Amino acid sequence: MKCLWGRTTLLICASLTLLRPSPTATAQDQISHHGWRGERIVATQSFSEGGATIQVDFAAGDLDLSQADLIAWIHASAHSVATFYGRFPVSRARVVIDPVPGDSDSIHGTTWGGVGGFPAVTRIRLGQHVTKDALKDDWVMTHEFVHSALPDLPDDQHWMEEGLATYVEPIARAATGRLTESRVWAEFLHEMHNGEPEHGDRGLNETQTWGRTYWGGAMFCLMADVSIRRQTNDRKGLQDALRAVVESGGGIDKDWPLSRVLQIGDRATGTTVLTEMYAKWSEKPVPVDLPALFKELGVAAAPNNGVTLDPKAPLAAIRDSIAPSRALAVN
């Protein structure tokens, strides 16, 4: 099961929300997730995206949003992920929309592999009064679909699952024009430090805190992406490695060892970046000089949690390759 916590709060795969439940409430929510399959489905719609069929089931309960609004949101999220990976990561996916009565701002997601004949199943607990604007800014649905693009890993490698989803999600949304390049870098600049090892932390496999799981994993991905691009003169990047994993059938319904995933990725880029970085980062705390990295990338802080992007920075071309400033071709 992916997403024990949210990316930016201590909620279960929660969206940005003003309400943060106590740790006790979080634990109770985790338990209640196991019982969702018996819910009464009142409507079903399907659509095709990136070679996949995506079935959306609406569970009983009131929502302010129309089913058409929700399908448009899920489709846009699937489209971003299919664009990033070159196809939707699995052949079939199911999304269950489960209304939360009275709630106005929760969008919580959880994704499982290989349930009921579907390679990927995502349950979204959606507040009754969530608005269309909230869906427009939402990251959760895209994050959940990214989880479908990696085999199911053991608990001590959970950081790889969440880190990858945290890193890929904004880039995928930018790829279809749902997020600007500046917003991608603003988020990385202002949040990535949460992934740095704190005093007493060990390797990523042995430090299962929120910061290390989500942003430590994302920092691994950013460093891997930059390293691959430096070594290949920007001809290859982490995206090529991840696409190769999907092309090899490595979706969430598979139970592969991570070493196989990393080897496929390294072969695709002609480097050993992923295997070598994993050997170090999984076992030991590896601090990163993020201020120096962002300076090289030409990303500087601006007011209101924004950024300025320097076109003349030493790694400006690599920055543009990671999060292109224009929407990619769509098919």
Considering only the stretches 33-41, 65-73, 133-141, 158-166, report the one whose residues sit in contact with Zn ion under the rule CB under 5 A: 158-166
Residue with tokens 């030991």: 284
Q: How many CB atoms lie within 10 A of CB 200?
A: 7
Q: How far is the CB of 67 from Zn ion (least distance, A)?
A: 25
Considering only the stretches 159-167, 181-189, 271-279, 304-312, report the one whose residues sit in contact with Zn ion under the rule CB under 5 A: 159-167
Q: Which is nearer to Zn ion, 159 or 294 (CB)?
A: 159
Q: How far is the CB of 140 from Zn ion (least distance, A)?
A: 9
Q: Which is nearer to Zn ion, 74 or 268 (CB)?
A: 74
d(CA 77, CA 132): 14
* Cβ-closest position to Zn ion: 3
d(CA 222, CA 233): 16
Considering only the stretches 113-121, 161-169, 204-212, 290-298, report the one whose residues sit in contact with Zn ion under the rule CB under 5 A: 161-169
Asked if 158 is part of the footprint of Zn ion (rule: CB under 5 A), the reply reads no
Q: Which is nearer to Zn ion, 138 or 162 (CB)?
A: 162
Considering only the stretches 163-171, 183-191, 269-277, 313-321, report the one whose residues sit in contact with Zn ion under the rule CB under 5 A: 163-171
Considering only the stretches 15-23, 154-162, 236-244, 293-301, report the one whose residues sit in contact with Zn ion under the rule CB under 5 A: 154-162
Contact assessment for residue 296 and residue 314, using Cβ atoms and an 8 Å cutoff: yes
Rule CB under 5 A: choose which of 93, 165, 168, 171 binds Zn ion.
165
* Of 222, 229, 141, residue with least CA distance to 188: 222
d(CA 122, CA 93): 8
Q: How far is the CB of 166 from Zn ion (least distance, A)?
A: 8
Q: How far is the CB of 110 from Zn ion (least distance, A)?
A: 8
Binding string, residues 104-143; x marks residues near Zn ion by CB under 5 A: ----------------------------------------
Q: Which is nearer to Zn ion, 162 or 181 (CB)?
A: 162
Tokens describing residue 208:
């299962």
Q: How far is the CB of 143 from Zn ion (least distance, A)?
A: 5
Rule CB under 5 A: choose which of 2, 94, 183, 236 binds Zn ion.
2
Rule CB under 5 A: choose which of 3, 268, 299, 307 binds Zn ion.
3
Residues that bind Zn ion (CB under 5 A): 2-3, 162, 165
